Structure 1
Amino acid sequence: MTHSTSHLLNADLHCHSVVSDGTLTPEDLAARAKANGVELWALTDHDEIGGQARALAAAHAQGMKYLTGVEISVTFIGHTVHIVGLGFDVNNAALAQGLRDTRGGRTQRAREMAEGLAKVGIPGAFEGALPYVGNPELISRTHFARFLVESGVCKDTNEVFRKYLTEGKPGYVAHRWATLRDAVTWITQAGGVAVVAHPARYKFTPNEEFALFTEFKGFGGQGVEVVTGSHSAAEYVSYAHTAREFGLAASRGSDFHSPAESHTELGTLPLLNSQLTPVWDLLGSRIQ
């Protein structure tokens, strides 16, 4: 594929399965991606690569090309930032260990969240959230939110987050994640490319955002999600500018989690601007 046309590829390089906090299996996601015309796919579960073999097999069964993927949670200037890794070696020991360490803090955090909810009259939330968890190591706020909706405490997951699970609310417990340097290093040393996920979501000041991209690039990061489910049309333009300013390749991904919850379906985003270097151009030899 020549560089002049590779931006036309329908690539979806950000989505989640039951292996983390999505509601579909890797096989169902692959079928859904294929049905929407996806040609190059990556499953990027949170801090977990346990679904990669299934996702690769499912992609091939559907006739799609595949890139290994993961979304790593990092703490940067007191905020949680997500770094997507693409095209890495799934058997890399340092990456696997780093992800294990990152996941390890989640269960303790979940128990503390449940204690906070119990204090405001919502008992049993830890046990209540567990049936929604595909992987017990990866219990997260999303699972608590689904439990509170299903049990009638709130009408939708947005209401749960607003009332209970954001900073200053009863069920919120901060978690110390990996550092930016850790995540980028794990990915790049495993032969992959590190990408800043959905940068508009972090609500950084211009100075903070400049610091994020400067440090990310300094540690060896090479990409940024420009076209993603949570970005507006104006943000596509703004982060295309960021990609050019910092010399980063551009990525595209729906961040699909669930048919019921996700606003953006797999494979339905606008194509990348032809002035950008698609991240898959850096990963040609890693595409399976």
Structure 2
Amino acid sequence: MCCRVASREAPGLRRFVAAGLSAVVWCLLVYVRSRCCLSSQIMPTPVSEPGGVFPPPRATPLRVSLTGVLESAYDGRMTLARIPDAPPSAGWDLHCHTVFSDGRQTPDDMVREAYECGLHGVAIADHDTTAGWADAVKAAERYRLPLIRGTEVTADASGISVHMLAYQYDPCDARIVDLFASLRAARLARTKRMVELISKDYPITWDDVLAQIREGDETTVGRPHIADALVAAGAYPDRSAAFAGAVGSRSPYYIPTPSPDAADVVRAFRQAGGVSVIAHAGDPSRNRRLLSDADIETLIDAGLDGLEVWHRGNPPQQRERLLALARRHNLLVTGGSDWHGKGGKPNKLGENLTDDDTVACIIERGAIPPILPR
């Protein structure tokens, strides 16, 4: 399911974009082929639907000039001149998970549902991996829907768990490759240990957990897969109930996620040309203690780009606090659903969105081009 947004059909804009993108896409292709391991992900051969029928072309929300310069509501420092007071009613969902981490649906499902919802675009943001990027790119070309590529990383700031969304970074950067390898190994060891503890009181084994993993070694393994194993064993009715019980952070079986320092994570993605945003920074259900303004300002000093304000976990007073911080420090303000697909979280695709101008800023700052299908 998804939250539908207003139609964005704009024939005039489509003609304008079509005229400009032919030159722009060619330039992007030349650029991409010069970068290691990106060429196969950026410009795949479009795939038709069964029977050879393509979805109708859709207008791109970004205003792209013939010279390939993204035009938006920037000030002189390429940051937003205005920060909205309320979540946008149309735009991009920049926080979605798939089967390559803790989501329940494929990247193709994600893009298709975003297309059907009428979103302007979507971002894949699986935990600690880029393994789903190639499939997401193919789906974006198939459904002719713009795509941003990203990842969510769990970090630590003075004992507080911080989820960092990073967009449009170079996935071949050595520091990022090493970071993901260490994070995935640590998650795997932690998950195995939790299963050992839980199995003393619940009828599950490590093999039961492995049976819940859709993409084998490419999947980032974690607590959601333990939850799914418990559901399959009949211990809980659904994943949410398992997280409220044996798998939750207040459970006696809980082991904290081994996490790098949040400022180091911000610096690593900045070095890789990425754009970093703190996810659901005001969600009181995730931490006994929230990040303070001073904590966030430390991350700003490290190179933080923005805050995910429009998220169901942030209550109104926290949204106001985060908006004030964003205005004070000229940060990007984003929104996302934290979608995990059917059987994951109840979050609906598109329930919180990011406006087009903010996405244009992310694209302008990023190291790799977006997927803007013709």
Q: Does 1:226 align with 2:309?
A: yes
Moved more, 25-34 or 110-119: 110-119
Q: Does 1:165 align with 2:241?
A: no
The verdict on how the C-alpha distance between 1:192 and 1:104 changes in structure 2, with shifts beyond 3 A counting, is: same
Q: Does 1:177 align with 2:259?
A: yes
Pairwise CA distance, 1:191: 0.9
Q: Does 1:61 align with 2:175?
A: no
Q: Does 1:153 align with 2:235?
A: yes
Match of 1:211 among 294, 297, 301: 294
- The equivalent of 2:344 in structure 1 is 261
- The equivalent of 1:20 in structure 2 is 101
* 3-state SS, counterpart of residue 30 of structure 1: helix
- Counterparts of 2:360 and 2:333, CA distance in 1: 9
CA shift digits 1:236-258 (9 cap, x unpaired): 44422232133211111111002
- Counterparts of 1:278 and 1:130, CA distance in 2: 39
- The answer as to whether partners of 1:249 and 1:279 remain within 8 angstroms in 2 is no
> What is the Cα-based RMSD across aligned positions, in Å?
2.6
CA shift digits 1:177-212 (9 cap, x unpaired): 121123112211111100001112244656x42233
- The equivalent of 1:73 in structure 2 is 154
Match of 2:221 among 135, 139, 150: 139
- Counterparts of 1:17 and 1:41, CA distance in 2: 12
Match of 1:190 among 249, 272, 279: 272
- The answer as to whether partners of 2:93 and 2:353 remain within 8 angstroms in 1 is no
The structure where helix makes up a greater share of residues is: 1
CA shift digits 1:210-261 (9 cap, x unpaired): 2331121011111110112433455444422232133211111111002233
- The answer as to whether partners of 1:89 and 1:192 remain within 8 angstroms in 2 is yes
Aligned length: 283
- The equivalent of 1:103 in structure 2 is 184
Q: TM (normalized to structure 2)?
A: 0.69
Unaligned runs of 5+ in 2: 1-62, 64-71, 74-80
Pairwise CA distance, 1:72: 0.7
Unaligned runs of 5+ in 1: none
Percent identity reads 26
Q: Does 1:89 align with 2:167?
A: no
Pairwise CA distance, 1:5: 10
Larger Rg: 2
- The answer as to whether partners of 1:74 and 1:183 remain within 8 angstroms in 2 is yes
Pairwise CA distance, 1:164: 1.3
Give the residue type in structure 2 aligned to 1:105. A
- The answer as to whether partners of 1:116 and 1:171 remain within 8 angstroms in 2 is yes
The verdict on how the C-alpha distance between 1:287 and 1:262 changes in structure 2, with shifts beyond 3 A counting, is: same
Pairwise CA distance, 1:66: 1.8
CA shift digits 1:117-150 (9 cap, x unpaired): 1222x24332211111234462211111111122
CA shift digits 1:76-122 (9 cap, x unpaired): 222321100011122222212211111111221122111211222x2
